[in-house]
Structure 1
Amino acid sequence: MNLYIESLEGGNYLASTGVGASRALVRDKSSQPKTFHCLNEIREHFDTQSFEHVWLRQNTPYEEMVGQTDHPGALELEIEL
């Protein structure tokens, strides 16, 4: 199983687990998407689990705002958690 972390504007993160397109968003007690404020919060939340891969994805609209249209999409890289 993999962990997928999505970096949002404002220093917030969403996390999901799964493999490929089959992912489940991490939810809070009210079944709402759980928002994390830093990678350390995610690390603490999953401290008893291990993952084959941990992916961090960062969507940045700033390239479009400054006229750089040649960016292929979101930055996605594998990290250690």
Structure 2
Amino acid sequence: MNLYIESLEGGNYLASTGMGSARTLVRDNKSEPKTFHCLNEIREHFHSETFDKVWLRQSTPYEEMVGQTDHPGALELEIEW
């Protein structure tokens, strides 16, 4: 199983687990998407879990806003966990 972390504007992160496109978003006790404020909060949340790979994805709308349409999309990197 992999961990997928989505970096959002404002220093917030969403996390999901799974393999490939079969992902489950982490939710809070009200079934809302759980937001994290840093990677350490995500580490603490998953402290007892082991993952094959951990991916960090960052999408920024800024390239499109300044006319850079040749950007290939979101930046996604495998990170050390």
Q: What TM bracket, shorter-length normalisation?
A: over 0.9
CA distance in 1, matches of 2:31, 2:60: 27
Q: CA deviation at 1:6?
A: 0.4
- How many residues are matched? 81
Q: Which runs of 5+ in 1 are unaligned?
A: none
Report the 3-state secondary structure (helix = DSSP H, G, I; strand = E; otherwise coil) of the residue aligned with 2:77: strand
Stretches of 4+ moved more than 2 A in 1?
Answer: none
User: Over aligned residues, Cα RMSD in angstroms?
Assistant: 0.7
TM-score computed with the length of structure 1 as normaliser: 0.96
2:4 match: 4
AA at the equivalent of 1:53: K
Is 1:39 the counterpart of 2:52? The answer is: no
Q: Which runs of 5+ in 2 are unaligned?
A: none
Give identity over the alignment, percent: 81
CA distance in 2, matches of 1:17, 1:56: 12
TM-score computed with the length of structure 2 as normaliser: 0.96
2:25 match: 25
